[in-house]
């Protein structure tokens, strides 16, 4: 219903494929494009940041300045191109922001653009507008259709793929509850002599509060959008001399990597941020922790555990040239316990495979399987015959000293988190951004429900925003509204006559 | 032994209406009032506007339909205002959008009053006869229309392929006409069923129409088999009402028709009564469920979920200890009482046993049995939103014949079909009410766009712009249209324009009255438990406060003009719910954009590159009028709509002579 593209609003997207370095272009098109620009773009004039009045500049001019946040803090230094209708690709007012490449910055600017009033463009939407506004030649019509189609398919794939199972389950659950609430209200409105809503507002308020906190949590926690924005928190563990530091250094020195140092959350831990072909890894080396033996041993173990718990990805490094030790097994047990709790992904790296291999992939797999069996929670899992849980710890034999080894690791990380399809980085980002914006729309709608209840509005007003939240969440799942409300009313409630 | 009945010429008409139920009456009156020489056929002149099921008009969302119908110039609202015996505004504690008027009708008076209107309508001929056949001719495909486009495979789907030329009755009468409106209700091949008994009749034992279904199929129409039911009627003298709760009408009456005032419809009202089923009732039902034709498989037709039989309710909601029933008088002329909530198709003796378990009905005498009825109707997706058939020029269809249910739904379609039959003959632009303009629009759009597998009933939850489509502003939404088509006379139109102006002026005035943060207003606000002003504000802002109202603020508004209640009501609603209303208006603007992108009638969807197969099939079947309608077809995705938009743009550029906008 509301999944259909509005024709006359303002859309934004990253219009260049993202690469780790270079320039990214964010394009904004529609009647409010200039209004967005005035909200977020500042030029420096005598040392002070000032708004740029778009009315006062010519079309097709480039402006140097800054993108600022709502609080006027500088987000990035950019070049902004002002293109006034109709001499633009879409024949609408358009701005293009050339910013420093890199996912984090580009994404931050895109988000700012969306906050300022644009919405994420549908796949192929710029091209579609260009066509509908008569900008593209007729002979290109079919090509346009193909673009829309293929991009939609890809976006849909990405859209669902980017949701992890837990997020998806929660959204589905919240939606079901919302629908049931709406159905209950509607049934009572439809058949007031059989059903009443006395005391219902309180029930709704408390359930609504639950939804709100869940959505808030969803917004804040691990969806892949966050992984892209903040990077994949990667913790490297292993016994001394297994090759943790070599791996870390190899990753840091990798020729395509951009390295920035940012202070870690723990005083003693240095978090290194590495951008590998579009994926940001926050590398946490636990070496320093684990190796401070003697008196502070316990502290070190605790800290390592804590780091493990916060990890999105655990790289477990072992030495292929020696036998698996008790220490290896202890660490593995800890990893398995963590994985069970946090759902982190684990990649076991059998390092030094350029030497004679004393420990093989099979050995390591067996150790993992035994570790699962020894771990009480995991035993439950195994009894249910769910052997997938074991095999999703992948083992990789490499030599981190060789470039090929590092590439192998990088490929594996990509396939773990993005099912190998990161060619369309811009789509991934925009989809993640769309999810986020739909989640905040749902949040906003549920807040309005709360307002309506608190203001003492009649019950039929609640359904407006409950339904809006339902639709927003449905768009994340790629579902449409159709008849499900009416079906739910009849399924759940005994209607009169 | 079948004898050939000789045909004879019986007359020439512009429009023939088949049926004089709630759809047929509105269709016939609208057509005749718009200048068409009209004939209306019926089973019996005694059954004009008969109410074979519940004895009321209106109710949630149905009340909206009646008021809209009235704004367009229909008759149902006026007729129920003349004949109601109880009136009630439902949902009064809820928001204004879901207030719904419902009146108990005196069935006989209702029917008689409508008969009188019909009989005295100029240009309208009534004829008691069973129509057995549609007469039609093949039309050559319009060459110009199809130029440059491949015809679709299904030739019968090509618009303008056939044209209505007349109707024939069982007795051989040939009535020539240019348009026909099917309003056959539940009479087509009807069958009434209870227990093991199956009778080949229409409702109330009236004769059914046995031939017309064949003729509809012969012309190429797809038929559905639907089912509905009605409860028993009980002799009033056999009920102990002291065991039941009385349900009275409202003291403050609201008329259905915008032409009436509350004072003009004052009268004494009758009570309805509330009673309950109990475990014993349910036990009897469970023990005899195998004898219900609904469960034994004897009834194949699809029944409505919103008005289930009592056995359906007991089976579907086994945990419910009791179900409410309302006992409603059928009129002043009779002792029969209608048992709302207890329709059934159980055997006669089980029904009696079951009804007698209800407190106060231990000695109930059943005058008429409950029964289920099965009937043919057409698949309404074969119709345009004008209610004209896509492949038979001049053939319109309305009411239960289109798979809807309810008197009000029928009447609403009836007036639209009647108006459009007349307008198309006059060569004028047909009337299409869209989803943002009225429940009538929602009803018709749903029928012709979304597949229904059960009799369709209106519900407020089906209207996405519900806040705008209120029963209180039906006149503001639709009088203009009624006037354009010619059913609203100048006098009524002028009164309407005055009302509109008064509302606009008063809104402007209230927004212009400023209060500073001081003086008498603060005292007034404190007195009414309302927060004092910190800065200046307008009178409109104060009206918006939940704890205040337009009337309460009168002492603070010495310049206030004397305005009718219906004007100040609109002013107050507009102000109080402005935020919500504004949001819906914005949604409507978006909605209209796709609604205004027309799809050419002869467009071959299979020739559109990249359109998914499912979308091609659905679009070909429905043949939507515009992109908005296309977007509401289940199985057509947003991506399909994008593809369609791009293709259409191309198409219109190639055929620059055709206009893009409606």
pLDDT of residue A422: 40
Q: Do A193 and B326 touch (CB under 8 A)?
A: yes
* Higher per-residue confidence, B86 vs A333: B86
User: Mean pLDDT across chain A, nearest whole number?
Assistant: 74
Residue in A closest to B632 by C-alpha: A1
Fold designation for A225-421: Rossmann fold (3.40.50)
pLDDT in tens, A73-89: 888 888 899 999 888 88
Bridge partners of B220, per DSSP, are none
- The nearest alpha carbon in chain B to A149 belongs to B639
**Span A248-274, pLDDT tens digits:** 777 765 433 333 333 333 334 456 667
Give B93's contacts in chain A (Cβ within 8 Å): 458
B580 chain-A contacts, CB cut-off 8 A: 461, 464
- Looking at domain A11-121, its CATH superfamily turns out to be Probable tRNA modification gtpase trme; domain 1 (3.30.1360.120)
Residue B202 has what DSSP assignment?
-
In whole angstroms, how far apart are CA A348 and each of A276, A351, B506?
A: 19, 9, 75
* pLDDT score of B218: 95
Fold classified for B8-53+73-87+111-229+375-433: FAD/NAD(P)-binding domain (3.50.50)
- Tell me the pLDDT tens digit for each residue of B463-517: 999 999 999 999 999 999 999 999 999 999 999 999 999 999 999 999 999 998 8
Q: Cβ–Cβ of A497/B609 closer than 8 Å?
A: no
Query: How far apart are alpha carbons B135 and B461 in whole angstroms?
Result: 40
In whole angstroms, give the CA distance from residue A417 to residue A394: 13
Contact flag A4-B460 (C-beta cutoff 8 Å):
no
Interface membership of B63 toward A (CB under 8 Å): no
Residue B579 in contact with partner chain A when CB distance is under 8 A = no
Q: Does B317 touch chain A (CB under 8 A)?
A: yes
CA dist., res. B456 & res. B447, Å (int): 8
Choose among B148, B143, B36, B136: nearest CA to B389.
Answer: B136
Spans of all domains in chain B: 8-53+73-87+111-229+375-433, 233-372, 506-587, 596-654
pLDDT digits (tens, 9 = 90+) for A326-372: 888 888 888 888 777 666 788 888 888 888 878 888 888 888 877 77
Name which of A132, A190, A496 is nearest B645 (Cβ-Cβ).
A132
* CATH superfamily placement of domain B596-654: GidA associated domain, C-terminal subdomain (1.10.150.570)
More confident residue, B126 or A355: B126
Residue pointed to by tokens 């718009």 = B34
For domain B506-587, give its CATH number from 1.20.140.10, 1.10.10.1800, 1.10.275.10, 3.40.50.970: 1.10.10.1800
Q: Is A5 on the interface with B (CB under 8 A)?
A: yes
Residue A323 has what pLDDT? 84
Mutation for A interface: B461, B544, B585, most A CBs within 10 A:
B461
Distance between CA atoms of residues B242 and A117, nearest Å: 64
What is the spatial distance between Cα B350 and Cα B197, in angstroms, rounded to a whole number?
Answer: 13
Answer whether A128 sits within 8 Å of B645, measured CB to CB.
yes
Q: Please tell me whether the peptide bond between A86 and the residue prior to it is cis, using omega within 30 degrees of 0.
A: yes
* Cβ–Cβ below 8 Å for B643 and A186: no
Contacts of A149 in chain B (CB under 8 A): 610, 639, 643
Which residue among A132, A189, A461 places its CB closest to the CB of B649? A132
Question: Nearest 5°: CA angle at B178, between B174 and B181?
Answer: 85
Tell me how far apart the alpha carbons of residues A200 and B594 are, in angstroms, rounded to a whole number. Answer: 38
Q: Is B655 on the interface with A (CB under 8 A)?
A: no
Give tens-digit pLDDT for B194-204: 999 999 999 99
A36 within 8 A of A116, measured Cβ to Cβ: yes
Confidence of residue B380 (pLDDT cuts 50, 70, 90): very high
Q: Tell whether the model's pLDDT for residue B552 goes beyond 80.
A: yes
Name which of B277, B297, B281, B289 is nearest B347 in CA terms: B289
Q: Which of residues 285-344 of A touch B (CB under 8 A)?
A: none
Q: State the nearest Cα–Cα gap between B493 and chain A, in angstroms.
A: 32
Which chain A residues touch B593 with a CB distance below 8 Å? 6-8
B447 and chain A: CB distance < 8 Å anywhere?
no
Q: Return residues 98-127 of A near B (CB < 8 Å).
A: 122, 124
Strand residues in A246-312 grouped as ranges (E): 259-263, 270-276, 279-285
Find the closest chain A residue to B320 by CA distance. A494
Q: Which residues of A touch B339 (CB under 8 A)?
A: none
Would you state the structure tokens that stand for residue A213, as one six-digit string? 């906190």
- Residues of chain A with Cβ-Cβ distance to B649 below 8 Å are 131-132, 141
Q: Is B453's Cβ below 8 Å from some Cβ in A?
A: no
Among A388-392, B34-38, B258-262, B353-357, the least confident range: A388-392
CATH among 1.20.120.430, 1.10.600.10, 3.40.50.2300, 2.40.50.140 for A165-222+426-492 = 1.20.120.430
B638–A4 C-beta distance less than 8 A: yes
Which CATH entry fits the domain spanning B233-372: 3.40.50.2000, 3.20.20.70, 3.90.950.20, 2.40.30.260? 2.40.30.260
Beta-carbon pairs below 8 A across chains A and B = 137
CB contacts, 8 Å: A194 with chain B: 324
ipTM passes above 0.90: no
Domain boundaries, chain A: 11-121, 165-222+426-492, 225-421
Nearest CB to B60: which of A5, A122, A192? Answer: A192
- Give the mean pLDDT of B124-142: 90
């Amino acid at each position: 219903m509301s999944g259909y593209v509005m024709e006359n609003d303002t859309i934004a997207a990253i219009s260049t494929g993202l690469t780790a370095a270079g320039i990214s272009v964010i394009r904004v098109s529609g009647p409010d494009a200039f209004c967005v620009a005035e909200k977020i773009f500042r030029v420096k004039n005598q040392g002070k940041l000032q708004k740029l009045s778009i009315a006062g500049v010519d079309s097709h001019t480039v402006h140097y300045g800054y993108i600022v946040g709502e609080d006027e803090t500088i987000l990035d230094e950019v070049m902004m191109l002002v293109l006034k209708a109709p001499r633009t690709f879409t024949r609408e007012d358009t701005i293009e922001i050339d910013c420093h490449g890199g996912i984090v910055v580009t994404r931050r600017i895109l988000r700012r653009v969306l906050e300022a009033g644009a919405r994420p463009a549908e796949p192929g939407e710029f091209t579609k507008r260009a066509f509908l506004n008569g900008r593209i030649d007729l002979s290109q019509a079919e090509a346009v259709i193909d673009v829309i189609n293929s991009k939609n398919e890809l976006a849909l794939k990405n859209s669902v793929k980017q949701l992890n199972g837990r997020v998806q389950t929660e959204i589905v659950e919240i939606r079901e509850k919302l629908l049931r609430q709406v159905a209950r209200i509607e049934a009572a409105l439809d058949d007031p002599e059989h059903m009443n809503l006395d005391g219902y507002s309180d029930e709704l308020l408390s359930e609504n509060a639950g939804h709100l906190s869940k959505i808030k949590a969803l917004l804040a926690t691990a969806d892949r959008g966050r992984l892209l924005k903040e990077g994949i928190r990667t913790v490297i563990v292993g016994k001394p001399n297994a090759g943790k530091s070599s791996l870390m250094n190899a990753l840091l020195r990798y020729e395509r990597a951009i390295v920035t140092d940012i202070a870690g959350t723990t005083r003693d831990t240095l978090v290194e941020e590495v951008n590998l072909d579009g994926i940001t890894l926050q590398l946490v080396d636990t070496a320093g922790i684990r190796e401070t033996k003697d008196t502070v041993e316990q502290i070190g173990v605790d800290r390592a555990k804590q780091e493990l718990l916060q990890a999105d990805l655990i790289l477990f490094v072992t030495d292929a040239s020696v036998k698996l030790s008790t220490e290896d097994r202890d660490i593995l047990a800890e990893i398995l316990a963590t994985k069970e709790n946090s759902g982190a992904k684990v990649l076991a790296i059998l390092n030094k495979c350029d030497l004679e291999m004393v420990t093989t992939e099979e050995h390591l797999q067996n150790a993992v399987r035994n570790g699962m069996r020894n771990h009480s929670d995991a035993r439950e899992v195994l009894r249910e015959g769910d052997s997938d849980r074991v095999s999703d710890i992948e083992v990789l034999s490499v030599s981190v000293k060789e470039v090929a080894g590092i590439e192998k690791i990088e490929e594996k990380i990509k396939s773990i988190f993005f099912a190998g399809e990161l060619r369309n980085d811009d789509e991934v980002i925009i989809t993640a951004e769309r999810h986020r914006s739909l989640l905040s729309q749902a949040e906003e709608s549920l807040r309005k429900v709360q307002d309506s209840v608190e203001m003492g509005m009649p019950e039929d007003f609640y359904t407006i925003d409950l339904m809006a939240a339902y639709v927003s969440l449905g768009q994340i799942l790629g579902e449409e509204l159709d008849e499900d409300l009416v079906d739910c009313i009849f399924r759940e409630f005994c209607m009169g006559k | 032994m079948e004898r050939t009945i000789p045909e004879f010429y019986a007359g020439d008409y512009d429009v023939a209406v088949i049926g004089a139920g709630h759809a047929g009456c509105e269709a016939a009156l609208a057509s005749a009032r718009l200048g068409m020489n009209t004939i209306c056929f019926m089973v019996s002149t005694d059954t004009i506007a008969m109410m074979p099921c519940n004895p009321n008009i209106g109710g949630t969302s149905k009340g909206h339909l009646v008021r809209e119908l009235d704004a367009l110039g229909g008759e149902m609202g006026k007729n129920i205002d003349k004949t109601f015996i109880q009136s009630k505004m439902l949902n009064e504690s809820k928001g204004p959008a879901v207030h719904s008027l419902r009146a108990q009708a005196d069935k006989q008076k209702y029917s008689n009053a409508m008969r009188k209107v019909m009989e005295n309508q100029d240009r309208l001929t009534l004829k008691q006869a069973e129509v057995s056949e549609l007469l039609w001719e093949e039309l050559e495909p319009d060459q110009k229309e199809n130029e440059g486009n491949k015809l679709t495979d299904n030739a019968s789907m090509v618009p303008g392929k056939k044209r209505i030329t007349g109707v024939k009755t069982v007795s051989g009468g040939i009535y020539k006409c240019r348009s026909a409106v099917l309003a056959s209700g539940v009479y087509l091949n009807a069958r009434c069923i209870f227990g093991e008994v199956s009778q080949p009749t229409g409702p109330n034992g009236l004769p059914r129409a046995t031939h017309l279904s064949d003729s509809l199929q012969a012309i190429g129409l797809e038929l559905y088999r639907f089912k509905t039911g009605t409860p028993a009627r009980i002799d009033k003298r056999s009920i102990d009402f002291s065991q039941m709760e009385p349900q009275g009408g409202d003291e403050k009456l609201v008329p259905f028709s915008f032409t009436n005032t509350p004072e003009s419809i004052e009268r004494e009202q009758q009570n309805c009564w509330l009673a309950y089923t109990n475990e014993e009732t349910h036990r009897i039902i469970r023990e005899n469920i195998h004898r219900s034709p609904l469960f034994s498989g004897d009834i194949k037709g699809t029944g409505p979920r919103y008005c289930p039989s009592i056995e359906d309710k007991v089976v579907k909601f086994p945990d419910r200890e009791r179900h409410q029933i309302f006992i409603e008088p059928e009129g002043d002329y009779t002792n029969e009482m209608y048992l709302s909530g207890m329709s059934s198709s159980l055997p006669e003796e089980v029904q009696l046993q079951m009804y007698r378990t209800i407190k106060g009905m231990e000695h109930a005498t059943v005058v008429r049995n409950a029964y289920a009825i099965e009937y043919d109707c057409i698949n309404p997706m074969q119709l345009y939103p004008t209610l004209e058939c896509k492949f038979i020029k001049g053939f319109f269809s309305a009411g239960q014949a289109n798979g809807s249910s309810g008197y009000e739904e029928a009447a609403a379609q009836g007036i639209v079909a009647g108006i459009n039959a007349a307008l198309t003959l006059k060569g004028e632009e047909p009337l299409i009410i869209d989803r943002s303009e009225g429940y009538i629009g929602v009803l018709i759009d749903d029928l012709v766009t979304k597949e229904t597998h059960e009799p369709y009933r209106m519900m407020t939850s089906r209207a996405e712009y519900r806040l705008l489509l209120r029963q209180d502003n039906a006149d503001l939404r639709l009088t203009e249209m009624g006037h354009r088509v010619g059913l609203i006379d100048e006098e009524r139109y002028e009164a309407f324009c005055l009302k509109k102006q008064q509302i606009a002026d008063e809104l402007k005035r209230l927004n212009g009255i400023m209060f500073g943060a001081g003086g008498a207003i603060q005292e007034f606000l404190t007195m009414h438990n309302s927060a004092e002003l910190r800065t200046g504000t307008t009178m409109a802002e104060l009206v918006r406060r939940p704890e205040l109202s337009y009337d309460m603020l009168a002492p603070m508004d010495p310049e206030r003009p004397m305005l009718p209640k219906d004007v100040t009501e609109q002013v107050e609603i507009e102000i109080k719910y402005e935020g919500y209303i504004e949001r819906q208006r914005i949604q409507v603007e978006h909605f209209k954009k796709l609604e205004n992108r027309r799809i050419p009638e002869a467009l071959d969807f299979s020739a559109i590159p990249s359109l998914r197969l499912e979308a091609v099939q659905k679009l070909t079947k429905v043949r939507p009028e515009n992109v908005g309608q296309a977007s509401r077809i289940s199985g057509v995705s947003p991506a399909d709509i994008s593809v369609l938009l791009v293709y259409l743009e191309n198409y219109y550029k190639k055929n620059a002579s055709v206009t893009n906008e409606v």
